[in-house]
Structure 1
């Protein structure tokens, strides 16, 4: 999840992401035993969409590529491949799953990504559901899905990539884009390989799906810059009640903004809680994504539900309500509730059941996220309030 910030608070020690046990995660590379002869050097790879390069390897019957141009794949079919990412500490590779549904007729290319954070399951299921509805023989254009970008994080269902540079560093891969193929960390290099050789060359538009993080649930909302007409057009095609109008300057290194930087319209949906499948929310984002594909003429048919006629709340910042004590958290408002300054939104009790802290809204807005773990220590976010910050107040970035 990505969200704005308020400058008036001390956030020392504020970290949302889970710090899960990662001892064995970096050693688990799906399909590594099946792949042979991985001797392709970086200098021999096609870069920036200049063609498809197959390594000659297969994993579970799926061919491995180090660079992809979807025009090289047969039209009217769905293709399943592995993209060879950065090397692991043992010198093997992290492989990323790639599904390409190429229509029988030419047209626009839309890229769907998920798994940038390893604890976000509803985002992956949303992309799977969309891809399973596509009929390539009836399509004009191409949809490419990449659903497990941060493989080592996904192996242990944790938010961050366990990098092995100085002991184990936990790196948020959604602060690494567009990456650097010669960067100082494996996640930076992995991002650079994917962006240069897989994602950017095959996208006329992109959608990067996320959820809340472990211990913190969000409502159904989209992130995108509404001042960009093509971005606003995509945002308006989703039947969800909130939009975070986030300027690119707030988070320049998240994936959807890396697409924006190279002229590709992109948004980032947020789909409920981490580590679970929220089927009700997933259905909303599947419907909205199919609307986007219809908007670009890739699939035919009438539009589903959109934001038209909905009371969509648009804000440009997220006001954090941070715990000042430890104890059991009781929320007094729900996701999507409107709040006003001074309204009590949560209380906290100690082990005796005594109220040790009360929390109020500091701004007028709507609840966009709440802590889902029932207990909290000081410094954890208990809630985010989507609101509108005045332009003169500037933008401050959360560490997560």
Structure 2
């Protein structure tokens, strides 16, 4: 910090009575993602080290200064106030030019990477934007596919998405990792949280850390897998009325939202240019031009790399 004080993170370790694989669970990379924190806390509370083979380590508040004000980005003070998205900083640099970059480097080099045989980085939608229960995973990596398919959620985004996200830093280091997304920001969605707790327990069983039969998986709920996410962006300012809901199937050319100005006049209508499923929607009722109103998860024959997605 500018005062010379340090930011600390909360680390919980469940060390099994027998040797085995090491899993790392992280949350709080964005400071407004409460359901991700609660999911990891719930998983850890259900572990009994006497019945485990291996170790599970959890870090529930990766971006502490962002969590203190329950906002998405780290408030950096380098050249006046600057809000930095910590999920573009990984693997970080211990000697970098920003506090969050150094924080990321210290955590990744000294805590996360050395203790992980696999990793799961939990997120939610961002403030003002709601998402479904889904996972982001590079399904071309067999070890990642095996884990992602164990979650009883309706959608998987099969894409490696942006450089600099935490799960990609793990993958680049040879550690299979992916990102669950657990509904809206700033709230606890207990119904969705239970799905991701069940899926995470399945992953721990897959790796032999826990014993017992698997719970429900993606196969049981008919998971939809898409490799692209179409952003539908606002072209006007005004009130937004959605005509579809999260998880709805849409067809190409279908109208998904309308927008009204301050006089109540319809100033824009928005359609999907692809067939797929709604995976994210703006939850704030008003928007400026350029903001995403919705994301449509769909399958593209030749997907682009590094696409926009509703993290």
Fold conserved (TM > 0.5)? yes
**Partner residue in 2 for 1:333:** 244
**Partner residue in 2 for 1:291:** 202
Cα distance per residue 1:244-263 (max 9 Å; x no partner): 1113xx42211001000111
1:201 alignment partner, SS class: helix
Cα distance per residue 1:219-250 (max 9 Å; x no partner): 00001111111100001110011111113xx4
Instruction: Note if contact 2:232-2:293 (Cα within 8 Å) is conserved in structure 1.
Output: yes
Distance in 1 (alpha carbons) for counterparts of 2:59 and 2:185: 19
Cα distance per residue 1:165-214 (max 9 Å; x no partner): 11011110000100110111111110000001000010011000000000
2:113 alignment partner, SS class: helix
Instruction: Note if contact 2:150-2:217 (Cα within 8 Å) is conserved in structure 1.
Output: yes
RMSD: 1.3
Cα distance per residue 1:312-334 (max 9 Å; x no partner): 21111111111111111111001
2:95 alignment partner, SS class: coil
1:94 alignment partner, SS class: coil
* 2:295 is aligned with 1:387: no
Distance in 2 (alpha carbons) for counterparts of 1:394 and 1:280: 33
- TM-fit CA distance, 1:374: 1.1
1:268 alignment partner, SS class: strand
**Partner residue in 1 for 2:28:** 115
- TM-fit CA distance, 1:397: 4.3
Cα distance per residue 1:52-77 (max 9 Å; x no partner): xxxxxxxxxxxxxxxxxxxxxxxxxx
**TM-score when scaled to structure 2?**
0.97
Mean Cα displacement is larger for which, 128-137 or 296-305?
A: 296-305
Distance in 1 (alpha carbons) for counterparts of 2:262 and 2:60: 42
Decide whether aligned partners of structure 1 residues 133 and 313 sit closer, same or farther in structure 2, where only a CA change above 3 A counts: same
Instruction: Note if contact 2:163-2:306 (Cα within 8 Å) is conserved in structure 1.
Output: no
Decide whether aligned partners of structure 1 residues 271 and 361 sit closer, same or farther in structure 2, where only a CA change above 3 A counts: same
Q: Unaligned regions of 5+ residues in structure 2, if any?
A: none
Q: How does 1:97-176 map to 2 (within 5 A)?
A: 97-176=10-89
Q: How does 1:215-294 map to 2 (within 5 A)?
A: 215-247=128-160, 250-294=161-205
**Partner residue in 2 for 1:212:** 125
* 2:216 is aligned with 1:305: yes
- TM-fit CA distance, 1:121: 0.3
Q: Unaligned regions of 5+ residues in structure 1, if any?
A: 1-87
- TM-fit CA distance, 1:337: 0.8
Cα distance per residue 1:252-277 (max 9 Å; x no partner): 21100100011111010000000000
Of 368, 371, 376, the match for 2:287? 376
Larger radius of gyration: 1
Count of residue correspondences: 310
Decide whether aligned partners of structure 1 residues 222 and 396 sit closer, same or farther in structure 2, where only a CA change above 3 A counts: closer
1:286 alignment partner, SS class: helix
**Partner residue in 1 for 2:235:** 324
